[in-house]
Amino acid sequence: MSTIGKITTMVFILIALTGIDVLAANRLLYENFDDQAIDLNRFVVYGHNWAVLNPPQYNLNQVGRGGTGYCFSSGTVSEAHLCWRKNVPNPWPTDEFYVSFWMRYPTFRQTDSHENLKLFYPHWDGVDSYVHYAMCNDDSIYYSAKGRGQFLTQGRWLNCPNQTDGKWHRYEFYVKFSAGIHKFWYDGKLVVNDNFGPGKWTRAMYYISTPSIDAEEPGSFSRQVDDLEIWDGMPTSTQPQDTAPPYLTDVSPLSNATSVPVNANITFHVRDTGSGVDKNSISLRVNGTKVTPEITGTAADYTVTYNPALDFSYSTTITVAVSATDLAGNAMDPVSYSFTTGPAPDPRPVPPRGVSVQLVNPKG
């Protein structure tokens, strides 16, 4: 066998042994905002001219899609938007990327013939390559694309009806870098299906903004986003669906334990067999008070440790409540258990026992 043949064989053996599916798309990021937190290791919330925003300029306390959970909402700044700007893979790990999110406008008033509310505006090859989508009015989106500084298409007006009716609408985008392929779906309908050909784009990803700025004079609107997904390829109908929630193991102290030392730490594992545990979703309450534990490990198995600043009281029942969600949005049923600390030590001295006195006659 040739050297190349041997190497190829070894690669296939390694893939088989490790269980890696080199053909399957991988979801790199998922946010459903139900934990009312944003992954600030990756996301930045921007307003106009790259102004970094903080609550109440945006908020995470509005009801999410389907009337459950929460979503990302504009606050005092209408154009507040999410941007994956930090720790973006560069080069992108595969030849493709796919982005999906749901968006709605709780309030909207037309103030300009072209509102220019940018809703998807990722950049790669520095700022020289992009696909650009801007909401013009209730029924129209303006679309253009660039490759290495040259327009590939522009002046495209897309029919996307009822965007501002206050209901949730789904936006999906797909790019294949090497072939210059780009697709866009609105509410499941294919609206853009472009093939610009090879040599237009590379995998040098810069950032992904979802949605983006208000590029005209300030509009009159509010905007919400939910169930944001970013993949390194096109998910397929055969993609395994993760429906199993995280679960708790290795709880210490044990449920219903007694005589627990007052200086005991609370520890447990949160595990998940599918997409992995969303670290930011892990919530721990002790006697009804939310506390901040140390969390180590991986998304498949996080170790959670809470070391109280003060010892527990003696002869006291301690109640622990845990909840978590995985990266696919599956929430575990909240787990609640309790243990009881031991009694205080007796402060009285213990009298000696078994003392005997022996008289010795020194004269014999």
For 3-20, the pLDDT digits (tens) are 444 433 443 333 333 333
Mean of the per-residue pLDDT values of the chain: 88
Residue 226: count of CB within 10 angstroms of its CB = 23
pLDDT at 359: 55
Tell me the pLDDT band of 242, cut-offs 50, 70 and 90: confident
Give the whole-angstrom CA distance, residue 291 versus residue 307. 10
| Model confidence pLDDT, tens digit, residues 294-323 | 999 888 889 999 999 999 999 999 999 999
Domains and CATH numbers, the chain: 20-231 (2.60.120.200), 247-340 (2.60.40.1220)
180: helix, coil or strand? coil
Query: Any residues with CB less than 8 A from the CB of 82 and at least 6 apart, and which?
Result: 31, 38, 43, 44, 45, 72, 209, 210, 211, 225, 228
Under 8 Å between Cβ of 146 and 138: no
Under 8 Å between Cβ of 65 and 102: yes
- Whole-prediction pTM: 0.61
Range in 18-22, 154-158, 198-202, 241-245 the model is least confident about: 18-22
Q: Please report which helix (H) or strand (E) contains residue 18, including its range.
A: helix 3-18
- For 297, half-sphere exposure in the C-beta direction (CA atoms, 13 angstrom radius) is 19
| Higher-scoring residue by pLDDT: 281, 346 | 281
Residue 248 has pLDDT above 50, yes or no: yes
pLDDT at 326: 87
Residue 357 has pLDDT above 70, yes or no: no
For residues 343-358, average pLDDT: 69
| Model confidence pLDDT, tens digit, residues 82-123 | 999 999 999 999 999 999 999 999 999 988 878 889 999 999
Q: Dihedral angle at the C-alpha atoms of 188, 191, 195, 201, nearest 10 degrees?
A: -80
| Model confidence pLDDT, tens digit, residues 160-205 | 999 999 999 999 999 999 999 999 999 999 999 999 999 999 999 9
Tell me the pLDDT band of 35, cut-offs 50, 70 and 90: very high
Under 8 Å between Cβ of 107 and 221: yes
pLDDT at 172: 96
| Model confidence pLDDT, tens digit, residues 202-217 | 999 999 999 987 877 7
pLDDT at 8: 39
End-to-end alpha carbon distance in the chain: 103
Q: How far is CA 106 from the centre of its chain?
A: 23
Residue type, 348: R
